[in-house]
Structure 1
Amino acid sequence: MLKSLFNWKVLLNLVIAIGVFVGLVWLTFRWLEYHTNHGQEIPVPNVINKSVHDAIKILDDTGLEYEVDSANYDPKYRPFQVLQIYPSPGSRVKDGRTVRLRVNPRTWAQIAVPDVINKYSGLAFQRLDQVGLKIGDTIYEPSIQKDALLRILYKGNAVNPGTRLPRFSVIDVVVGSGPMRNISIPNVVGLSVKEARAVITKSMFEVGLVEYEDGGKDESDIIYYQDPAAGDVRDQGMQIDLWASKRTPAELRAKVEQLNSIYRMKVDTSLPPVRYEEVHTEPVYEAPVAPPVPKKETPKAEPAKTEVTTSKPVAGTEKAKVSSSSQPAGSTTKPAASSNTGGQQTTQKPKAKKVVVE
């Protein structure tokens, strides 16, 4: 066995196989060096602060590939200015290597307009500011949706929700100022339903019930009755009911009279007009009644005991009393003069009674 293994023919075949393998490996590496330009490197040119068009031209001349990546817009730099390059300038790369450029875009990135139509203006303004849209003019327009955002305008044109605009764009908004009052209702009798809808909408009213005589919904039918009547005044946004038919209003006179009896209020003009007078009466204020004061009970005084003492009358006085009592009524007598007074008339008054109250 060993003897056959060391046969010169076997050894020759083994040496040939090893040589073929080594030759294939050497040829493979040589092909790779040639295909990948092994050992041949190119320095990355410095294209920072150049425009993206000039940077691309320089990279093409040096044999390098490129990718352009837009960064967030920075107003401090020019639009399409190269802000950064990777690998960094001066690095040595192989021919055909891809270089990435970071470029300042032309303007801010675009954002979608949020759906804030018919929303309260305060919340709508807050939402627009959050996405980066700036509000310019606020235009007020009569509408039944008071303080609601009706439209968004960009450069004078209305934009729908979802439209993409550059960030920080200035937009104008239309806000409802409330309904208009006392608007005259237009006359749509004789018009088609389609024409009547356009006239009612233009007059800032809404179409209410539309009753078709034949039960269909043909927009070409003629309006022969409307409620409220033409010329009445209503507030903006009120509904106008319509009655339509394929026949003309002259042919439906009986129907019109029937509807008048239902929807038109008759006013009796034979009665005198009622006058309303405002009577202003001044209020009468009564003086407040004082509460009754309770009476204080005073104790009853005991009857006083009196002691009467009489003194003896003078002799002359007693005589005068006796003489006056003996004379008839109507006669007068003069008292006698006392001898002690020399003939002068004197009258002695009785002494006062002494009253002692215990």
Structure 2
Amino acid sequence: MLKSLFNWKVLLNLLLAIGVFVGLIYLTFRWLEYHTNHGQEVPVPNVMNKSVHDAVKILEDAGLDYEVDSAAYDPKYKPLQVLKVYPSPGSRVKDGRAIQLMVNPKSWAPVAIPDVINKYSGLAFQRLEQVGLKVSDTIYEPSIQKDAVLRILFKGNPVNPGTKIPRFSLVDVVVGSGPLRNIGVPNVVGLTVKEAKMVIAKNLFELGAVNHEDGGNSDSDIVYYQDPASGDIRDQGMQIDLWASKKTPAELRSKIDELNSMYRMKVDTTLPPIRYEEVSEVEEPKIKEPAPVVHQKKEVPKTENAKPSGGTSGKSNTPAEKPKASATPSSGTQEKPKAKKPIIN
């Protein structure tokens, strides 16, 4: 068996297999070198601070590819100015390598306008500032929604919520100033319901009930009656009720008279005017209030015991008592003398 291994035919086949294997490896590396441009490197050109259009042209001339990305807007640099290059300028890269360019955008990143329509103006201003928008001017417009945001204007044109505009842009806000007082009601009789709605909305009134004669709801019906009547003085925001039909107002005269009797108040001018006389006010008698009773304390005289008049020594400190008045018989009465008893020896 060992002799068969060292046979010249076996050795020849082994050498041929080794040669084929080495040849395949050599061809594989040559193929990879050809497709990867091994050994062919080019320096990255310096395109810093150039415009993105000039930088792209320079890279294409050098046989390099490019990828453009925008950074946060910086007003210190020009729009579309190249701020960073990767790999850094001067580095050697293979031909066809993609160079990443960081470019300053034209303006700030866009932000969406928040939904602040019909919201209170104070809260709307705060919401606009939170997303990075600045309120340039506040325009007041008559509206029944007082202090509510009606529209947002960007460069003079109204924009809807969700529209993206550059951050830190200036916007104008239209705010309702409240309804006007004592405004004449517009005349919509003879118009279609659709036209009447437009006129009512334009004059800042509200549409009330719409009564169709045939029970339908077609906006092509003609308005033959309205309440309040045209020319009446009302405040903006009041409702206007309509009666509509496919017939003209001239054909509905009886119906109009019936509605006038219900909604139009007639003043009888044949009655004499009512005179009001001024009545003098009668003063009511004032009731005197009783004077308050003041209770005074009565002083009770002190009684002193009479001292016997036996001693003469010293003077008494007490005042001398007044002699009692002798009882005198009243006039007309005489006191009878007492009878003396006889003396017996």
Give the TM-score, by structure 1 length. 0.79
Structure with more of its chain in helix, by fraction: 1
Q: Say if 2:143 is the partner of 1:143.
A: yes
**DSSP 3-state at the match of 2:22:** helix
Aligned to 1:306, the other structure's residue is in SS state coil
Q: Find the counterpart in structure 2 of residue 190 from structure 1.
A: 190
Q: CA offsets, 1:113-133, max 9 Å, x none?
A: 111111000110011111111
Give the secondary-structure state (helix, strand or coil) at the position aligned to 1:207: strand
CA 1:180–1:7: 2 relative to 1, 3 Å: same
Match of 2:234 in 1: 234
Indicate the RMSD between aligned Cα atoms, in angstroms.
2.8
Deviations 1:179-212 (A, max 9, x none): 1111100121222212222221222112111111
Could you tell me which residue of structure 2 aligns to residue 307 of structure 1? Answer: 324
User: Mapping of 1:1-358 within 5 angstroms?
Assistant: 1-269=1-269, 270-273=271-274, 275=276, 291-299=292-300, 306-307=323-324
AA aligned opposite 1:272: P
**Offset of 1:135 from its aligned partner?**
0.7
Instruction: Give aligned pairs, total.
Output: 309
Q: Which runs of 5+ in 2 are unaligned?
A: 304-320, 327-345
Once the two structures are TM-superposed, the CA of residue 298 in structure 1 deviates from its matched residue by 3.5
Please report how far the alpha carbon of residue 295 of structure 1 lies from its aligned counterpart in structure 2 after TM superposition.
3.0
SS at match of 2:129: helix
- Structure 1 pair 245–108 and aligned structure 2 pair: CA distance change class (3 A): same
CA distance in 2, matches of 1:285, 1:124: 64
How far apart, CA to CA, are the structure 2 residues paired with 1:84 and 1:143? Answer: 53
Q: 1:115/1:275 Cα in 2 relative to 1: closer, same or farther (>3 Å)? A: farther
SS of residue matched to 1:57: helix
Q: What is the identity percentage for the equivalent residue pairs of Structure 1 and Structure 2? A: 71
Distance 2:23 2:123 in 1: 79
User: Which of these two proteins has the greater Rg computed from alpha carbons?
Assistant: 1
Displacement after TM superposition at 1:267 (Å):
3.3
| Unaligned segments of structure 1, at least 5 residues | 310-358
Supply the AA of the counterpart residue of 1:79.
P
Q: What's the CA shift string for 1:91-128, capped at 9, x where partnerless?
A: 11111101000111111111111111110001100111
**Counterparts in 2 of 1:159 and 1:2: CA distance versus 1, 3 Å:** same
Partners of 1:202 and 1:54 lie apart in 2 by 55
| Residue pair 2:144, 2:204 contacting (<8 A) in 1 also | no
Counterpart CA distance in 2 for 1:33 and 1:285 is 128
Query: 2: CA distance between counterparts of 1:140 and 1:283?
Result: 57
Report how far residue 5 of structure 1 moved.
2.5
- Go from structure 1 to structure 2 and tell me whether the alpha carbon gap of 1:297 and 1:110 turns closer, same or farther (over 3 Å shift): same
Residue by residue, what CA displacement relative to the aligned partner does 1:5-56 show, whole Å, maximum 9, x if unpaired?
Answer: 3322122111110110011101111121122121221111111011111111
Taking structure 2 as the reference length, the TM-score comes to 0.82
The secondary structure found in structure 1 opposite 2:324 is: strand
Shifted more, 272-281 versus 204-213: the winner is: 272-281
